[in-house]
Amino acid sequence: MTYKVAYIIGSLSSNSINRKLVGAMIADAPADLEFVEADFSKLPLYSPDYDADYPQIATDFKKILEDADAVLIATPEYDRSIPGGLKNAIDWFGRPWGSNPIGGKPVYVVGASMGSVGAAIGQIATRQTLEFFNPLLMTQPEVYMKMSHEDIGEDGRFIDAATQGFVKSAIEAFADYIRKHA
């Protein structure tokens, strides 16, 4: 059996270290996981005015999450909290009222920052808002990654073997969690 994992990159940067972190995880992910991006970059800022005339782009974004067995979110921390673009995307999850594309699904939040806090506070803020949707949040192992672009090699993996081994064990743990709960 194959499991579909939708992943969300919490950064809008075209050169995102969080995208590279996910790339390194996918590079060594178990073969029964299939990955598809749920890209929120074109979503407008949510307003209740959209509920009556729901934009196709938001329907398409949520469909990727609805069709997935599990969701992986990699986010930076902005000003010690969740980046605004990611929070806006999560606001779209729950509207119109009653919509919930992640309820009961395995969800794993990881992240990277350039600072030594490793996006930990941003991840905690992200988990806090996700709790509203009652997902099955996997909270271990914590991936609070302090990283820079130079940490990733041409093959998309961490150059440091121990670090690549750690992210590999993290995605394997998520695969186990999905197999048990999806």
Ligand X SMILES: Cc1cc2nc3c(=O)[nH]c(=O)nc-3n(C[C@H](O)[C@H](O)[C@H](O)COP(=O)(O)O)c2cc1C
C-alpha 9/C-alpha 134 separation (Å) is: 20
| DSSP letter for each residue of 91-156 | HHHTTTTT--SSTTSEEEEEEEESSTTTTHHHHHHHHHHHGGG--EEE--S--EEE--GGGB-TTS
Report the site for ligand X in 65-84 (rule: CB under 6 A): 76-80
Output 18 or 164, the one with its CB closest to ligand X: 18
Report the site for ligand X in 95-124 (rule: CB under 6 A): 113-115, 117
Output 87 or 95, the one with its CB closest to ligand X: 87
- Give min distance, CB of 66 to ligand X, in A: 26
Among positions 3, 6, 7, 18, the unique one binding ligand X when judged by CB under 6 A: 18
Cα 143 → chain centroid: 12
C-alpha 45/C-alpha 77 separation (Å) is: 19
Report the site for ligand X in 142-181 (rule: CB under 6 A): none
The amino acid at residue 42 is K
Helix extents (H) in 3-137: 17-27, 56-67, 84-93, 120-130
As given in the structure block, the two tokens for residue 133 are 């949707």
Output 45 or 176, the one with its CB closest to ligand X: 45
- Give min distance, CB of 180 to ligand X, in A: 30
- Give min distance, CB of 146 to ligand X, in A: 8
- Give min distance, CB of 92 to ligand X, in A: 20
Site residues (vs ligand X, CB under 6 A): 11, 13, 16-18, 76-80, 113-115, 117
